[in-house]
Structure formats: structure tokens, C-alpha cells
């Protein structure tokens, strides 16, 4: 029963919004803004995950180098470039 009431309210809101061009334009602008915000948040989260994975690879490479493991093996194991591993070793 509650679902019927909610559906009825949603239908009334849609009728109201679609009957007034200005209100409809404002509604669409808000929806667009919310969608853009959600995309920005999603992109930021993905960027953060990538940064975290890169930092972890660097940390692992440094630890492996301290253990005396060959640079090429460290590069293959961590996914870092050989140049990056050599740079880390020379620090």
C-alpha cells in the first residue's frame, strides 16, 4: 500500500515538473549537476586507488632492494619500470 502512495506522489511530481518549462529546465540542470558530481567522486576514488597501489609498489620495491633482490626481478614483481627501480635503489 505504501508503495502505491509513493508511486502516486512520484507521478504527481512528474506531471508538475513536465507542465512548467522553467521548472523542468531547473530539474534537468539539477539532475545533470548531481550526475556530474557523482562522476567526479567516482573518478577521485579511482585516482586514489591508483595512487595507493603505486605507493604500495614503491614501498615493496624499496623493501626488496634492501633485501638485495635484483632490480629486474623487483621491476617484474612490482610492475614498476626498471628505471624507477634503479632510481629507488640510488636514493
Q: How many CB atoms lie within 10 A of CB 85?
A: 26
Does 1 score more than 60 pLDDT?
no
Does 76 score more than 90 pLDDT?
yes
Burial of 52-83, coded b for 16+ CB within 10 Å and e otherwise, reads eeeeebeeebbebbeeeeebeebbeebebeee
pLDDT in tens, 20-65: 788 878 888 999 999 999 999 999 999 999 999 999 999 999 999 9
pTM of the prediction?
A: 0.61
CA distance linking residue 86 with residue 15, whole number of Å: 65
- What is the pLDDT, as a whole number, of residue 69? 97
Domain enclosing residue 69, as ranges: 2-89
The average pLDDT across 64-89 equals 97
Annotate 17-47 with three-state secondary structure: HHHCHHHHHHHHHHHHHHHHHHHHHHHHHHH
Number of domains in the chain: 1
Amino acid at each position: 500500500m505504501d508503495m502505491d502512495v509513493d508511486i502516486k506522489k512520484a507521478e504527481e511530481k512528474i506531471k508538475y515538473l513536465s507542465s512548467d518549462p522553467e521548472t523542468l529546465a531547473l530539474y534537468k540542470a539539477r539532475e545533470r549537476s548531481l550526475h556530474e558530481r557523482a562522476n567526479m567522486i567516482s573518478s577521485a576514488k579511482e585516482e586514489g586507488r591508483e595512487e595507493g597501489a603505486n605507493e604500495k609498489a614503491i614501498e615493496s620495491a624499496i623493501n626488496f632492494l634492501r633485501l638485495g633482490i635484483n632490480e629486474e626481478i623487483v621491476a617484474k614483481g612490482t610492475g614498476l619500470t626498471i628505471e624507477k627501480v634503479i632510481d629507488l635503489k640510488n636514493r
